[in-house]
Structure 1
Amino acid sequence: MSVPRLALTPGEPAGIGPDLVVQLVQEPFPAELVVVSDPDLLEARARRLGLPVAVRRFDADAPPAPQVAGWVTVDAVPLSAPVRCGQGDPAQAHHVLTTLERATDGALAGRFQALVTGPVHKGLINEAGIAFSGHTEWLSERTGGALPVMMLVAPGLRVALATTHLPLRAVPDALNAEHLRRVMTVLDRDLRRRYGLSTPRILVCGLNPHAGEGGHLGDEEQRIIEPVVASLHAEGLCVIGPLPADTAFTPERLAQADVVLAMYHDQGLPVLKAQGFGQAVNVTLGLPIVRTSVDHGTAFDLAGRGGADVGSFRAAVHEALRLVAAS
């Protein structure tokens, strides 16, 4: 395919997502970027930021054309209510989810080769009475229920998660042998398929301090993680661990790994974001579509003020293009 077509969703309309879109389309890209959003929202945010933007409506029957600086191609989804920058409103939940549905269904149907998502506000969607724990879980359900694996990519580091958006007290109960085996299998398969690694080296963190200290600080390593690692290693996967998380990210360890598998969200992501915040990309493995996203939230305090950094959104588009090219 000479010119891929990507769907972009800005996410929460009162946050920095629309800012990022109008900043991003100031640049040319070797792909057609189709923003699934309300065109009036994007034009209003561009005016507020003092950026030139010309809107054209998306035509699915026209051949895809590369992104031209200063133009934004929009697949229109009306807002659910007026938007005030920096003030989230649960009334927009329907709009946010409709943009995701339109973009995801388009990717499943082949109209888009990838989906790139801006930040949503989970709390506002839940306040609207819609159970929503995050893009990752929602996309899994929408695309057929495959196990999604959340992996963040920064320069020189990849971190995947065995569990995603769970309260900390729920993590141990979610770590069973079957689940861990499936996560590691997806991770191995997609690093081969999408990243071209012939034998992905997966460094596995323990759950407890010191990886359980031989069972004295918790036994999940002995009961669950170690047997899964040993079983997959016997099947030919290159899995290493479980290792204490406080030493898993040292340069010596990282030199032996292509990805670190953390057991829960805040075990691995603070390290990655400290190293590459603003350049990191969230990639959802295990889905039948290519999906990338920013590494940050809605930043209501920056919305419409001109201080939003487009770096992670730009990196997410480029990562999506690399993954599409490898497909």
Structure 2
Amino acid sequence: MDTKYKVRLGISIGDTNGIGPEVIVKTFSDQRVLNYCTPVIYAAPGVLNRIRKALSAEHFFYQPVNSADVLVPRKINLVTCWDGDLEITPGTPTPESGKASLDSLMAACRDLKAGKLDGLITAPINKDNIQADEFNFPGHTEFLTSYFDAPESLMLLVSGDLRVATVTGHMPVRDVASKLTPELLIRKITILLESLRKDFGILKPRIAVLGLNPHAGEEGLLGSEEIEIIRPAIMQMKERGHLVFGPFPADGFFGMQQYKQVDAVLAMYHDQGLIPFKTLAFESGVNYTAGLPIVRTSPDHGTAYDIAAKHIANETSFREALFLACDIVKMRKEEQMPAV
């Protein structure tokens, strides 16, 4: 692969009343980012101009383009997704900000599916006000899995060598146990193994699987899911020659820093994995959707309405999402190159 190739990254604006536009402008105020990618922001000039003025971001410049067909190298490209001024009410989700976030996301996804982009970074949305005929999903992960026709995907949080995935995603805790099956765990472990190899270049990945119940069920005393569901899945993966271990009690596993001994951790549900991950790597963490035919990353935080327009949002997670997307795109392209 040409080492001078600049990854074409689409960027959806997220909820315009949250901190998405702010972290985007802060990230791209550092022109050195353009050494790694050709960014394409899907929004409208008014949103970016307001943030640029409020932040006095004198080094943030963008180039309006009609479409992703005519990108300008070494420039921040802007594809306009709606006409007219959008009313901004920082800290308050509105139907208008929800529609803007959807318009931005759909435009970026269309271009990504058409091959005009190499990857996608999604700024945080409000999962309620974005709901529409085109988006009837609990979050980005589920929408993108459907839009790009993937059989299944996996939420994978990444910060350096710390990687935490979840078997189940955005669902009530009361429903988690009933959703777990050995077959589901095997599919999720398989996606994780493949992503670690293909996207992160780890030839023989080591995966730790957490239990569902306290103390990983205490041999059935505190629950039978470990015995009936999780262990059988782990044993099948071991029989196939994979380095999969567990189930581990979640509290002790993170408390004793055992995550440092493996390449990834598979949690059973959202908060079981994301609470320790964000405790360890909140500002630098990245949400990556494994298992898709495309590359999508996002910062690991939400809309943060409470600090919107206070101009104190930390852009580190968004910047890390950008770098991770670039790395994975290049890793995949190198893997596809014919051997010399």
Does TM, normalized by the shorter one, top 0.5? yes
Give the Cα–Cα distance (whole angstroms) in 2 for the partners of residues 129 and 100 of structure 1: 11
Aligned amino acid, residue 50 of structure 1: S
Given the alignment of the two structures, is residue 66 of structure 1 paired with residue 74 of structure 2, yes or no? yes
SS in 1 for 2:183: helix
Q: Are the structure 2 counterparts of residues 226 and 60 from structure 1 closer, same or farther at C-alpha, using a change threshold of 3 Å? A: same
Given the alignment of the two structures, is residue 10 of structure 1 paired with residue 16 of structure 2, yes or no? no
The runs of 5 or more residues in structure 1 that have no matched partner are none
What CA deviation, in whole Å up to 9, does each residue of 1:183-205 have, x standing for no partner?
Answer: 00000011001111111101000
Does structure 2 conserve the Cα–Cα contact (< 8 Å) formed by 1:49 and 1:305?
Answer: no
Does structure 2 conserve the Cα–Cα contact (< 8 Å) formed by 1:204 and 1:243?
Answer: yes
Which stretch of the first structure deviates more once superposed, 130-139 or 16-25?
130-139
- Structure 1 residue 253, shift from structure 2 partner: 2.0
Task: Give the superposed CA RMSD.
Answer: 1.9
Which stretch of the first structure deviates more once superposed, 180-189 or 297-306?
297-306
Aligned amino acid, residue 323 of structure 1: I
- Structure 1 residue 45, shift from structure 2 partner: 1.8
Does structure 2 conserve the Cα–Cα contact (< 8 Å) formed by 1:154 and 1:275?
Answer: no
Give the Cα–Cα distance (whole angstroms) in 2 for the partners of residues 13 and 248 of structure 1: 38
- Structure 1 residue 95, shift from structure 2 partner: 2.2
1:89 to 69, 88, 94: 94
Residues 229-240 of structure 1 aligned to structure 2 (within 5 Å): 229-240=234-245
- Structure 1 residue 117, shift from structure 2 partner: 0.9
Given the alignment of the two structures, is residue 76 of structure 1 paired with residue 80 of structure 2, yes or no? yes
The runs of 5 or more residues in structure 2 that have no matched partner are 333-340
Match of 2:201 in 1: 196
1:20 to 8, 18, 23: 23
Match of 1:50 in 2: 56
Structure 2 length-normalised TM: 0.90
Which stretches of structure 1, 4 residues or longer, exceed 4 Å deviation after superposition?
A: 126-130
What CA deviation, in whole Å up to 9, does each residue of 1:214-233 have, x standing for no partner?
Answer: 11111111111110110011
Match of 1:314 in 2: 319
Give the Cα–Cα distance (whole angstroms) in 2 for the partners of residues 84 and 321 of structure 1: 33
Residues 20-169 of structure 1 aligned to structure 2 (within 5 Å): 20-28=23-31, 29=33, 30=35, 31-52=37-58, 53-58=60-65, 59-62=67-70, 65-67=73-75, 72-78=76-82, 81-126=86-131, 131-169=136-174
2:213 to 197, 208, 216: 208
Give the Cα–Cα distance (whole angstroms) in 2 for the partners of residues 169 and 131 of structure 1: 22
Q: Are the structure 2 counterparts of residues 63 and 135 from structure 1 closer, same or farther at C-alpha, using a change threshold of 3 Å? A: closer
Identity percentage of aligned residues: 37
- Structure 1 residue 175, shift from structure 2 partner: 0.9
Given the alignment of the two structures, is residue 228 of structure 1 paired with residue 233 of structure 2, yes or no? yes
Aligned amino acid, residue 55 of structure 1: Y
Q: Are the structure 2 counterparts of residues 129 and 60 from structure 1 closer, same or farther at C-alpha, using a change threshold of 3 Å? A: closer
Give the Cα–Cα distance (whole angstroms) in 1 for the partners of residues 114 and 300 of structure 2: 27
- Structure 1 residue 93, shift from structure 2 partner: 2.4
Given the alignment of the two structures, is residue 219 of structure 1 paired with residue 193 of structure 2, yes or no? no
Q: Are the structure 2 counterparts of residues 153 and 254 from structure 1 closer, same or farther at C-alpha, using a change threshold of 3 Å? A: same
Match of 2:293 in 1: 288
Number of residues of Structure 1 aligned to a counterpart in Structure 2:
323
